[in-house]
Amino acid sequence: MDRKKQAEPETIDGSRLKIAIVASKFNPDITGKMFVGAVEILRKSGVLEKNIRTVWVPGAFEIPLACQKLAQTKKYDGIIALGCVIKGDTDHYHYVSSGSIRGVMDVMLKTDLPIGLGIITTANLKQAQERSSGRHNKGAEAAQAVLEVINN
């Protein structure tokens, strides 16, 4: 697989930003690492701990509603959505992953609030582990993305 090299992440002053994180409790070993990655990026950008609000939801399907409720408060400059959907033996995976991702996009477009998409969909646990740790942490990438969109 040929991957294009990404530009270095922008340095952003987040000292005045208020960011919400919506994270799924399902697959906690994965979403927990993604959460840590997201918070690390926010802190490196200067976002104050008191300006980071976290809402834990049961699973990925509940993420859009939590994002919508947070967006409607108009208290946040951006939201980070974190979840993990691993393919199983049934079609349930497709409905949950497409519904939650589409729901997050709908909230973002409806409210004009940037939402960093950190809902990973993988074929197996190994792929999820790879995408939730180290330099491939999709939680960290979602945090960086939301900061960059806010900054533009």
Backbone angles phi, psi at 15, to 5 degrees: -60, -20
Residue the block writes with tokens 């990655």:
37
Give the CA radius of gyration of the chain: 15
What CA–CA distance (Å, rounded) separates 30 from 141?
14
For 4, what's the count of Cα atoms within 13 Å in the CB-facing half-sphere? 2
Catalytic site includes residue 94: no
Q: Are the CB atoms for 35 and 22 separated by under 8 Å?
A: no
Reference 54, options 31, 77, 73, 79; nearest CA is 79
Q: Which of 25, 92, 94, 110 is catalytic?
A: 92
Residues annotated as catalytic (active site), given as ranges: 92
